[in-house]
Amino acid sequence: MSTVLMNDEAFIKRGYQISTDKKLLNINVIYDYLNNDSYWARGIPRQKLENAIANSMCFGVYHEGELVGFARVVTDNATFAYLCDVFVLPTFRKKGLSKWLVQTIVNHPDLQGLRRWSLATADAHGLYSQFGFSQITRPDRWMEIFNPYIEPQ
């Protein structure tokens, strides 16, 4: 179910909103940022991104109707959530939007009571620790298969 989340009057008064309505997303802006400016998704094929968005819970941050931030949650809505692809466009940083975005995500009604949240970050530990994220307690129990993006044949 898509919802417009308006839980902070200070941001609303300044023309911002956060929504999970995928119809509002500007895929061009998201693709441009992730493909060209992010360290974690550089080179992602557009079709892979579109599939990821289609199969995830997505949060858009909007200023006067224009997408200025984004995050994706991969979840079963029961036990697990993986927070990823979080960004705020450079022009809109240093306004508290990333903090508002993460707070909105972790407080979303569909994401309550989960057993585990996870994410990966190289440089935003301070942001996420404010919301209870910490280093993996038992990294010896976690494994991965990592495949860099490979263009479809």
Q: Which residue has the higher pLDDT, 141 or 8?
A: 141
Which residue in this structure is represented by tokens 């400016």? 37
Whether residue 65 lies inside any domain: the answer is yes
Q: Which amino acid is at 105?
A: I
Number of neighbours of residue 142 by Cβ within 10 angstroms: 9
Q: Identify which has the larger pLDDT, 140 or 11.
A: 140
In a domain, 21, yes or no: yes
In a domain, 72, yes or no: yes
pLDDT of 4 higher than 80: no
Query: Domain containing 15 — which CATH number?
Result: 3.40.630.30
Residue 152 falls inside a structural domain: no
Q: Is residue 150 part of a domain?
A: no
The tens digit of pLDDT for each residue in 40-78 reads 999 999 999 999 999 999 999 999 999 999 999 999 999
pLDDT at 1: 44
Parent domain of 15: 4-141
Q: Which two tokens stand for residue 53?
A: 């968005």
Do the domain assignments include residue 100?
yes
Give residue 12's pLDDT band: very low, low, confident or very high (50, 70, 90).
confident
pLDDT > 70? residue 153 = no
pLDDT at residue 116, rounded to an integer: 96
Among candidates 105, 77, 85, 82, which has minimal Cα distance to 30? 85
Per-residue pLDDT tens for 126-145? 999 999 999 998 999 999 89
pLDDT over 90 at 113, yes or no: yes
Query: Any residues with CB less than 8 A from the CB of 79 and at least 6 apart, and which?
Result: 114, 115, 116
> In the prediction, which pLDDT does 10 show?
60
Query: Could you tell me the end-to-end alpha-carbon distance of the chain, in angstroms, rounded to an integer?
Result: 35
Q: Taking Cα atoms as reference points, which of 29, 132, 45 lies closest to residue 87?
A: 29
The DSSP call for residue 22 is G
Give the pLDDT band (50/70/90) at residue 3: low
Q: For 94, what's the count of Cα atoms within 13 Å in the CB-facing half-sphere? A: 2
Mean pLDDT to the nearest integer, 15-31: 95
Q: Is 130 left (phi over 0), alpha (psi -120 to 50) or beta?
A: alpha
Does 147 map to a domain?
Answer: no
Residue 69: per-residue pLDDT: 98
Domain count, the chain: 1
| Residue 52 near residue 40, CB atoms below 8 Å | no
Asked whether residue 91 is domain-assigned, the answer is: yes
